[in-house]
Structure 1
Amino acid sequence: MNAPADLPPLPPAFVALLDALVPPAWRPRVDASYTAPKAVVFRHNPLRAPDAAAVVAALAPLQPEPVAGMAGVYRLPAHDRQALTHHPLVSDGYLYLQGIASMAAVWALDPQPGEEILDLAAAPGGKTALIAARMGNTGRIAAVEPVRARFFRLKANLQRLGVRCAQLYLKDGAQVGRLVPQRFDRVLLDAPCSSEAQFTRLDPASWAHWSPRKVRASAAVQARLLRSAAQALKPGGVLVYSTCSLSPQEDECVVDALLRERDDLVPEALPWPVDLPALPGLTTWDGAPLHPGLALTRRVLPTEWTDAFFLCRLRKRG
């Protein structure tokens, strides 16, 4: 598909990144994803209503399509986004708009009822709420967010979505591992990043603050948070690291640095929906070798219905 001639081009450094990462067979679909609005993906919230079918039926005349193999997950054409966003079922917390790769971070974490979970960069709260749903609102979630405005957005979202098992902390996540070492059964770090998943040629402002320098700065923050996450994890526990960035500097390279520092963390295969467009993680980048276990990570590609995302699951040795 050829892009409209009047759309502004993506930044040259980002195009070079796509050239390096995306196989030729995927490239037309990836390029097309930057030139049109995406389909909107949402999920049923069982904390508000147990019957997904009844809730989704109440969206009529909207006609969502179930996402194959993903119970309670649906999508609508891009032109229905506004109608869904402002629907009472969304504002009342029965449905929640959330990217499929974002949900996959919680699937990879695989939280169990009664466990103690750390969500280390929790705002705006979609993943926290999905963790609570997977746990049946039992156990305890420590949801950490350092930015005051985002913290209160997190609080409001969790209340709206019916989350009762979370305790919220306005705190720098990089301090948590030192304060409560080896406390949590599972840790999710969906790290702040350079937000490459937000890029669209329909809005040049989507990349106005992006640069290779921003990528490097993001990686430094991510490395501090990931060390804290690993320190807070119990022996035998699971740590999931994710970003909404394509850049290996923020993804495999951050994890590789941690694996070089610690020998008690082992990459594991991800539970993976078969139709989610993704590539195995890299084991070399910029001429340098990376930990071979990073082949088990996944980089979700941007398409007409998915956003760019990176996912890694680590197990701490018992």
Structure 2
Amino acid sequence: MNAETPADLPPLPAAFSALLDALIPPDARPRVEASYTSPKAVVFRVNPLRAREPATVLASLAPLQPEAVTGADGVYRLPATDRATLTHHPLCAEGSLYIQGVASMAAVWALDPQPGEAVLDLAAAPGGKTALIAARMGNQGRLAAVEPVRARFFRLKANLQRLGVRNAQLYLKDGAQVGRLVPGRFDRVLLDAPCSSQAQFTRLDPASWAHWSPRKVRASAVLQARLIRSAADALKPGGVLVYSTCSLSPEEDECVLDALLRERDDLTPESLPWPVDLPSLPGLTAWRGQPLHPGLALARRVLPTEWTDAFFLCRLRKRT
């Protein structure tokens, strides 16, 4: 049987295609469109909290031949055809390596946590970013990981144990309450906010968007607004807040940040550390005819490609 061609595959939702029309420049559109019609390359990182030297880990993956991701130490990619083999490899089970999208890792690079600091991951499950934060901290300092959903909380706990995280305290709690309970507690806060999950879309599986709608985008934005206010309250003066989503919708991205920046004058957008040449666009300073905070041009919208997922991230500094 012949493989399906893009013309044979079900189309993306009309509202989402309209969003792509509004956001994606014509020269980038073919690559973005192609990303929805084939399986993505698999990206993983060697976990320094568990692993031996990366060269030893890579040798143990033979006959797989990972390609190093330029600019990101210990990060590699393999063709999509190797995903199942990698997923079931003993190195994954023991936590020596972790499958994680490079755009997701970029949120932790933007946060830039340091050993000995107090760091908050406000929506932590399933734990990939939390574990990378712990690795960047060398398991030194205090890492608070918050997750409100019980099943996801226990998945988070199991993942962090498997990945060798020792400096994390886990809280089964509504993240929107944290800023009120511990104001000004943390040097750095990551809010990888629950969102409408557009990064999961693939025309190979219409179920990937079965629960998506513009209404879900609006509902996600309401929750995100509550969480980002809590994140800002929990941050120390002089501290760094990184906000990220796996959504392309400005209503979940720049518009959430714009509302926060209009409410309070102690937060300023900053340039993002950007070690890997990810295909991306600067943040928007206007949407649907409405101006947005000019500093949001420093945010980044990572484009979906054959090896990257859709992602948005912005770094804010709290005034001392």
Same fold, judged at TM 0.5 (above): yes
Q: Find the counterpart in structure 2 of residue 307 from structure 1.
A: 309
Other structure's SS at 1:70 match: coil
Q: Find the counterpart in structure 1 of residue 165 from structure 2.
A: 163
CA distance, structure 2, for counterparts of residue 224 and residue 269 of structure 1: 24
Residue 274 of structure 1 deviates from its aligned partner by: 4.6
CA distance, structure 1, for counterparts of residue 276 and residue 190 of structure 2: 22
Work out whether 1:250 is the aligned partner of 2:223: no
The one-letter amino acid of 1:5's match is A
Other structure's SS at 1:5 match: helix
Output one character per residue of 1:38-69: Cα deviation in whole Å (capped at 9) or x when no partner: 00000000000241111111100111000011
CA distance, structure 2, for counterparts of residue 3 and residue 237 of structure 1: 49
Q: Gaps (5+ residues) in structure 2?
A: none
Matches within 5 A, 1:243-282: 243-282=245-284
Contact conserved, 1:3 with 1:32, CA < 8 A, in 2?
Answer: no
Q: Find the counterpart in structure 2 of residue 33 from structure 1.
A: 35
Choose which of 279, 295, 298 in structure 2 pairs with 1:296: 298
CA distance, structure 2, for counterparts of residue 275 and residue 227 of structure 1: 31
Choose which of 174, 185, 193 in structure 1 pairs with 2:176: 174
Q: Find the counterpart in structure 2 of residue 122 from structure 1.
A: 124
Choose which of 88, 97, 100 in structure 2 pairs with 1:98: 100
Work out whether 1:221 is the aligned partner of 2:217: no
Between stretches 34-43 and 54-63, larger displacement belongs to: 54-63
Contact conserved, 2:51 with 2:97, CA < 8 A, in 1?
Answer: no
Sort the Cα spacing of 1:200 and 1:42 in 2 relative to 1 into closer, same or farther, 3 A: same
The one-letter amino acid of 2:248's match is L
Residue 5 of structure 1 deviates from its aligned partner by: 2.1
Other structure's SS at 1:279 match: strand
Contact conserved, 2:187 with 2:235, CA < 8 A, in 1?
Answer: yes
Q: Find the counterpart in structure 1 of residue 45 from structure 2.
A: 43
Contact conserved, 1:256 with 1:290, CA < 8 A, in 2?
Answer: yes
Other structure's SS at 2:18 match: helix
Between stretches 273-282 and 95-104, larger displacement belongs to: 273-282
The one-letter amino acid of 2:318's match is K
Matches within 5 A, 1:4-15: 4-15=6-17
Contact conserved, 1:187 with 1:240, CA < 8 A, in 2?
Answer: yes
The one-letter amino acid of 2:224's match is Q
**What's the TM-score once normalised by structure 1's chain length?**
0.99
The one-letter amino acid of 1:164's match is R
CA distance, structure 2, for counterparts of residue 277 and residue 71 of structure 1: 19
Q: Find the counterpart in structure 1 of residue 134 from structure 2.
A: 132
Contact conserved, 1:301 with 1:308, CA < 8 A, in 2?
Answer: yes
Contact conserved, 2:191 with 2:244, CA < 8 A, in 1?
Answer: yes
Matches within 5 A, 1:72-87: 72-87=74-89
Aligned CA RMSD, in angstroms, stands at 0.9
Choose which of 188, 191, 195 in structure 1 pairs with 2:190: 188
CA distance, structure 2, for counterparts of residue 91 and residue 230 of structure 1: 36
The one-letter amino acid of 1:214's match is K
**How many equivalent pairs are there?**
317
Q: Find the counterpart in structure 2 of residue 145 from structure 1.
A: 147
Q: Gaps (5+ residues) in structure 1?
A: none
CA distance, structure 2, for counterparts of residue 312 and residue 259 of structure 1: 12
Residue 3 of structure 1 deviates from its aligned partner by: 4.9
Contact conserved, 2:39 with 2:80, CA < 8 A, in 1?
Answer: yes
Output one character per residue of 1:109-150: Cα deviation in whole Å (capped at 9) or x when no partner: 000000000000000000000000000000010000000000
The one-letter amino acid of 1:19's match is D
Matches within 5 A, 1:198-209: 198-209=200-211
Q: Find the counterpart in structure 2 of residue 23 from structure 1.
A: 25
Between stretches 270-279 and 154-163, larger displacement belongs to: 270-279
CA distance, structure 2, for counterparts of residue 94 and residue 190 of structure 1: 24
The one-letter amino acid of 2:211's match is H
Residue 273 of structure 1 deviates from its aligned partner by: 2.7
Other structure's SS at 2:12 match: coil
CA distance, structure 2, for counterparts of residue 170 and residue 100 of structure 1: 27
The one-letter amino acid of 1:287's match is G
Q: Find the counterpart in structure 1 of residue 71 from structure 2.
A: 69
Other structure's SS at 1:234 match: strand
